């Protein structure tokens, strides 16, 4: 008797297809979950690195402050004025800084640091300061025998220092300083070891002029021994979670990105109120009047990073934004807790001769 070849029935095919579909849905769901976990872990790892980089970037810059004997804040012409630094606590929206307005994510501090050099100051004497025609300083390389470095910065037409501060320094123990602004046309001429660096400057104009003690003149009335090019950086967090640095230059200021996925910046100042070289209190939201007459010995810097996306079902613990110690003054409600956050706290000891 002949056998008949039989295939699968329609019902069998449908059942097999259904089982296969169920298995594939499970596999795809597992793959999707794995992809989401991997994406989140990658974002958290990147955020951790960005937070660490941002914190140490600010700390490194802050430690350079104090090279020109400028005070952190002073009574300038009868008005309490931020000088070497400025701390504006828990800002949002548009914030005014010495070199222009910036837009800040809610709850973040805005920190300005000045009084440091990226090029070493030059030794001068009174004869190096000229006031005939254009106000200028002629730094003579042979005067003291110290070569003038970073030649590319002074080449004709490139003048990278235009718009930055120029500071004259006298006796440090007497707090003698005077600040102006670098003008266009500075240049380096001659051949080593007798080159001359000419720095043109503006007397009593621009945002730098407000840092001078009452009665100070440019050129200064005191004997100036060194002159340096001052830098000014303002750190803030933009609403798109980018830590920015506003740098003074010929255009007023140029914003430069430092790190991404940064959700907040908090800074407090360690203040010595009795001149014993020890921190008496940490001020997370100081008024300028609390700093005038006191020494700022350290900064405590907190950088908060966050994933660039919300995490379904997640609420970041309030402990991440803990301010129970009173050192920082973060407001938990300012932060989007549906994202995952990372935090780092560092402390920068400032130069011990700050006034």
102 — pLDDT class (breaks 50, 70, 90): very high
pLDDT in tens, 131-172: 766 788 888 877 665 666 655 455 545 566 888 888 888 887
Q: Which of 230, 257, 278 is the last residue of a domain?
A: 230
Whether residue 322 is contained in a domain is answered as yes
Whether residue 142 is contained in a domain is answered as yes
The answer to whether residues 208 and 168 belong to one domain is yes
The pair of structure tokens assigned to 77 is 């012409």
The answer to whether residues 49 and 102 belong to one domain is yes
Which of the pair, 122 or 270, is modelled with greater confidence? 270
For residue 2, is pLDDT > 60? no
Whether residue 35 is contained in a domain is answered as no
Whether residue 86 is contained in a domain is answered as yes
Whether residue 16 is contained in a domain is answered as no
Q: What is the pLDDT of residue 156?
A: 47
pLDDT in tens, 169-194: 888 778 788 888 888 887 878 887 78
Contact 284, 327 (CB under 8 A): yes
The answer to whether residues 337 and 294 belong to one domain is yes
Whether residue 32 is contained in a domain is answered as no
The pair of structure tokens assigned to 40 is 């989140």
pLDDT in tens, 239-251: 999 999 999 888 8
35 DSSP assignment: H
The answer to whether residues 153 and 242 belong to one domain is no
How far is 72 from 296, CA to CA, in rounded Å? 7
Q: What is the pLDDT of residue 36?
A: 67
The answer to whether residues 109 and 237 belong to one domain is yes
Q: What average pLDDT does the segment 106-130 reach?
A: 85
Lowest mean pLDDT among 229-233, 256-260, 320-324: 320-324
The answer to whether residues 239 and 224 belong to one domain is no
Q: What average pLDDT does the segment 114-141 reach?
A: 79
Please report, for residues 24, 61, 185, 269, the alpha-carbon distance to residue 299 in angstroms, rounded to integers and kept in the order given.
Answer: 56, 11, 37, 5
The answer to whether residues 107 and 240 belong to one domain is yes
For residue 3, is pLDDT > 60? no
Q: Which of 182, 199, 230 is the last residue of a domain?
A: 230
Q: Which range has highest mean pLDDT (145-149, 252-256, 303-307)?
A: 303-307
How far is 75 from 247, CA to CA, in rounded Å? 25
Quote the distance between the C-alpha of residue 203 and its chain's center.
27
How many C-beta neighbours within 10 Å does residue 11 have? Answer: 8
Alpha helices in the chain (DSSP H): 10-63, 288-291
Q: What is the pLDDT of residue 149?
A: 62
For residue 255, is pLDDT > 90? yes
Q: What average pLDDT does the segment 62-74 reach?
A: 81
For residue 183, the enclosing domain spans 122-230
For residue 328, is pLDDT > 70? yes
Q: Are strands 226-237 and 136-140 parallel, antiparallel or unpaired?
A: unpaired
pLDDT in tens, 193-251: 788 888 888 876 677 877 787 666 777 888 888 888 888 899 999 999 999 999 988 88
Whether residue 355 is contained in a domain is answered as no
The answer to whether residues 109 and 238 belong to one domain is yes
CB-based contacts of 245, cutoff 8 Å, min separation 6: 233, 234, 235, 255, 256, 257, 258
Whether residue 340 is contained in a domain is answered as yes
Lowest mean pLDDT among 21-35, 49-63, 261-275: 21-35
The answer to whether residues 253 and 263 belong to one domain is yes
Main-chain phi, psi angles of 192, to 5 degrees: -65, 145
Domain total of the chain: 2
Q: Which of 230, 264, 282 is the last residue of a domain?
A: 230
How far is 355 from 172, CA to CA, in rounded Å? 10
The answer to whether residues 155 and 300 belong to one domain is no
pTM of the model: 0.84
The pair of structure tokens assigned to 150 is 């970073």
Give the closest residue to 119 by CA, choosing from 229, 226, 225, 246: 229
Q: What is the pLDDT of residue 346?
A: 93
Q: What is the pLDDT of residue 283?
A: 94
| Reduced DSSP (H G I as helix, E B as strand, rest coil) percent helix, strand, coil of the chain, to 5 | 25, 35, 40
The answer to whether residues 309 and 337 belong to one domain is yes
The answer to whether residues 283 and 139 belong to one domain is no
Strand partners, 94: 103
Please report, for residues 7, 140, 166, 199, the alpha-carbon distance to residue 102 in angstroms, rounded to integers and kept in the order given.
Answer: 75, 39, 24, 30
pLDDT in tens, 334-350: 899 999 999 999 998 88
């Amino acid at each position: 008797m002949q056998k008949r070849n039989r295939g699968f029935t329609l019902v069998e095919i449908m059942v097999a297809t259904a089982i296969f579909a169920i298995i594939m849905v499970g596999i795809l769901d597992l793959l999707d979950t794995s992809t989401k976990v991997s994406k989140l872990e990658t974002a958290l790892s990147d955020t951790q690195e960005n937070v660490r980089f941002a914190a140490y970037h600010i700390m490194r810059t802050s430690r350079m402050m104090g090279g020109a004997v400028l005070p952190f804040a002073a009574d300038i012409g009868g008005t309490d004025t931020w000088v070497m630094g400025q701390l504006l606590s828990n800002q949002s929206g548009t914030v005014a800084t010495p070199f222009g307005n910036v837009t800040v994510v809610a709850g973040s501090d805005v920190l300005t640091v000045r009084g440091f050099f990226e090029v070493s100051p030059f030794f001068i004497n009174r004869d190096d300061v000229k006031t005939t025609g254009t106000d200028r300083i002629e730094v003579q390389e042979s005067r003291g025998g110290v070569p003038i470095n970073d030649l590319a910065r002074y080449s004709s037409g490139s003048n990278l220092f235009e718009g930055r501060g120029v500071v004259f320094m006298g006796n440090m123990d007497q707090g003698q300083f005077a600040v102006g602004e670098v003008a266009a046309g500075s240049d380096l001429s001659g051949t080593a070891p007798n080159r001359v660096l000419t720095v043109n400057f503006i007397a009593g104009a621009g945002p730098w002029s407000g840092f001078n003690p009452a009665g100070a003149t440019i050129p200064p009335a005191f004997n100036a021994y060194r002159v340096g090019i001052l830098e000014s950086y303002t750190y803030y967090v933009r609403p798109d979670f980018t830590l920015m640095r506003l740098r003074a230059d010929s255009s007023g200021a140029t914003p430069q990105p430092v790190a991404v996925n940064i959700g907040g910046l908090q800074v407090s100042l360690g203040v010595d109120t009795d001149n014993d070289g020890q921190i008496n209190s940490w001020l997370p939201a100081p008024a300028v009047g609390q700093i005038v007459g006191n020494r700022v010995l350290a900064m405590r810097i907190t950088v908060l990073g966050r994933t660039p996306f919300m995490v379904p079902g997640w609420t970041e613990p309030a402990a991440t934004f803990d301010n129970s110690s009173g050192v920082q003054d973060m407001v938990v409600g300012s932060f989007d807790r549906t994202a995952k956050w990372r935090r780092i706290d560092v402390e920068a000891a400032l130069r011990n001769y700050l006034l």
